[in-house]
Structure 1
Amino acid sequence: MKIYLVGGAIRDLILNLKFSDKDWLVVGANIDLMIKLGFKLVGKDFPVFLHPITHEEYALARTEKKSGHGYEGFIYYSSPNVTLEEDLLRRDLTINAIAQDQSGKFYDPYNGIQDIHNKILKHVSNSFKDDPLRVLRVARFAAKLAHLNFKIDKHTLKLMKIMSDSGELSYLKPERIWKETENALKGLNPHIFFITLKKCGALSILFPEIDKLYGIPAPAKWHPEIDTGIHTMMTLSIASKLTSDLEVRFAALCHDLGKGITPKKLWPRHYGHGIAGIPLIQGLCKRLKIPNNIRDLAIISAKVHDIIHDIYNQKAENILNIYNIIDAWRKPYRVKQIALISESDARGRATLDSVCYKQGKYFIDIYKHIFKINNKDIIKNGIKGLDIANIINKRRLKLLKLFISSKKIK
């Protein structure tokens, strides 16, 4: 029986990247031996165990054979006779098919270490195309390692295109699509994930709402990049530089979905695209089972981001209504979130990525000025229910008008 550290931990170790999860591979053992050694069997489809002390995952070496559709359509074979090389052969990329034994020696039968040095994402074998989830995984790795200038091997990208055309992506479960997407959105360059899916033809299948934005023009005065799909990727890129907030990043991705259904005769204008995009956001989130808190901010930002851009010209009543729409009195954190999304949109444009977005700060400063209202005297006078809310609203409006007239920020 031999034990090896495998997968992402080895890849990140060689790249000098931080990692927390460790996956272990056991060669020359069976289920009975692992249980006898105190390991807990947790794998349903193939033998995976938890270490009795560290609780890290240990998997028996196995091979796999395609037997159906999707990433679950495989027959697995595990026995003490399965070799290290056979197990590593079933893995997706060469950079993930490296093992290290307990003495520190590397085993690299498919030249993954060389591909790491060459900054190449390359499939291990042609069986790569049997698992449609790998399209998403490679896109995620392209995003994860973009800051190190990793590129996808042209033959791997060709296989990804074949997989997209095959119809296999339609068998992916929504939860798995979202999980890979969520992990990509949390990374340094999430826009690369979607750009990669576009390159291999998967974006139109998995995220048709986003794919439709490509080729749709916007006024050159406001969008020097013109193409709405490109603008969306630039917006997501800026958002990822401004914050690690997953809700903000997803909302930045979805803020202009409504432009995808603007009638051609109205191009390049997109009046009312924010409201028009709400059903698209709802449909996307329902289809992929995206959490409600992420969905809700995306919907809200679609409604209000254009108003924030024009906040200096808005009446006090309109500005106050924005705070009511985003439920700022109960969820004050949303004020900064909306400011960040709007800034990402404003800066996610060709030649404008470094502009100073004063509107966001103005929006935050107004909120700070009108948030605290003394309602004790209202309650003392016996006023209840909606009447309290109406009085507080009037007081906030008064403060807001005074703040605007003072031009403290402008």
Structure 2
Amino acid sequence: MKIYAVGGAIRDTLMGLPVHDIDYVVVGSSVEEMVAQGYRPVGKDFPVFLHPETQAEYALARTERKTGKGYKGFLFYADPTVTLEQDLERRDLTINAMAQEVGANGKWVGPILDPFNGQDDLASKIFRHVSDAFAEDPLRLLRIARFAARFPDFIVAPETMNALQAIVRSNELSALSAERIWQELARGFTASKPMRMLQVLLDADAARVLLPSKLVSNLAKEEFREQLIAYLLTADSNLEDRCAVTLMHLSASEIRLWAACVKMPNEVRDFSEIFSELNLLNEQMTGDTYQSSDVLVWFNRADVWRKPDRGQALLDLAKRIGLNVDTLILAMQNAQALNTAEIIDGIPAQERSHGEVIRRAVDAARLSAITSALTSQSI
């Protein structure tokens, strides 16, 4: 029985990056032996165990065979005869198919075991798949795209791009769950260069399957890509900002439709929708002036009254990417400063029970405050 650290932990160590999670593979053991040594079985699809002290996950070395569609359509085989190289061969990229033995004291010992030349590809900054079985798992396409966003200096090997395109042609992407698609996209959006993820999806012809059609059309234009790269660099690295600037030229209804397809979290969807409406408001300016009524509609849509932090975040993002929103910021501050209780007190007592009367009075006061701010800035 031998234990090895494998995969991303080895890769990140060689790159000088912090290692957060370590995958362990056990070679030459069995379920019975692992249980006898105190490991607790937790794997549903293949033998995975929790260490009796550290609770880290240890998996028996295994091979796999494609039996159905999607990333779950595999039959796994694990027993003491499966070798480390056989286990590494089923992994996605050569840079993720390296291992190092773990000694009795838990320290990594001995040379790095690299049967597929992952160190060479790491030095050359190349994403290269390990074997032809790579194309059997559609999730790997999204993983490669996400890796490209995390490691933007790496290129996809031509033969690996061919394999990604084969995944698209096989229609295997349709077997991926919406939740898993979003999980990978979200991780790519918050990586260092999200545009690299989008570019890989375009090059693999997967964008038309996974992304909104209008976004795909826009991404085909070099001017749009260059602008988006600049916006993504300017935006904060949080998911809301990154998605908002990527989707800002779509309509709110187009964003909502795609969000439903990929199960985008509601708060991310709403932020993107409202930001796209802010972009439209900016495009519809008359000269350098906003229409007060349009501004009030957007403030109500953004619910800057009950969610002032979100309203500020939306306008801050717009300002960072160069939209003309200084007057909107002042208008929002003016309107938010109103005392709604005083406005309601100014309504005749017999009419205060009517919600519509109150709403109109509050809207009128807010509209006046907005108009005052817009007028003062235009003088």
**DSSP-derived class of the 2:325 partner:** helix
Q: Distance in 2 between matches of 1:300 and 1:292?
A: 12
* Letter matched to residue 41 of structure 1: P
Q: Distance in 2 between matches of 1:369 and 1:236?
A: 34
Correspondence 1:157-168 to 2 at 5 A: 157-168=161-172
Across the aligned residues of Structure 1 and Structure 2, the Cα RMSD in angstroms comes to 2.4
| Kept in 2: contact 1:190–1:240 (CA 8 A) | no
- TM-score with structure 1 length normalisation? 0.81
Alpha-carbon displacement from aligned partner over 1:313-354 (angstroms, at most 9, x marks no partner): 11222222211111111112332343355457xx5xxxxxxx
Mapped pair 1:329 → 2:305: yes
Correspondence 1:6-405 to 2 at 5 A: 6-102=6-102, 103-105=108-110, 106-146=112-152, 149-209=153-213, 210-214=215-219, 227=221, 231=224, 234-235=227-228, 238-257=231-250, 277-309=251-283, 312-339=288-315, 342=318, 357=322, 359-378=324-343, 383-384=352-353, 385-405=355-375
- TM-score with structure 2 length normalisation? 0.88
Q: Distance in 2 between matches of 1:231 and 1:329?
A: 34
Q: Distance in 2 between matches of 1:84 and 1:201?
A: 34
Q: Distance in 2 between matches of 1:230 and 1:172?
A: 32
Alpha-carbon displacement from aligned partner over 1:176-217 (angstroms, at most 9, x marks no partner): 1111111111111111111111101111122252323355xx
* Structure 2 segments unaligned to the other structure (5+ residues): 103-107
* Structure 1 segments unaligned to the other structure (5+ residues): 216-226, 258-276, 348-356
Q: Distance in 2 between matches of 1:192 and 1:85?
A: 31
Task: Give 1:306 shift.
Answer: 2.3
Task: Give 1:90 shift.
Answer: 0.5
* Letter matched to residue 377 of structure 1: E
**DSSP-derived class of the 1:137 partner:** helix
Change (3 A) 1:342 1:13: same
Question: Which residue in the other structure is 1:264 paired with?
Answer: none
Question: Which residue in the other structure is 2:105 paired with?
Answer: none
Change (3 A) 1:2 1:237: farther
| Kept in 2: contact 1:46–1:76 (CA 8 A) | yes
Question: Which residue in the other structure is 1:224 paired with?
Answer: none
* Letter matched to residue 29 of structure 2: A
Question: Which residue in the other structure is 1:260 paired with?
Answer: none
**DSSP-derived class of the 2:109 partner:** coil
Task: Give 1:83 shift.
Answer: 1.2
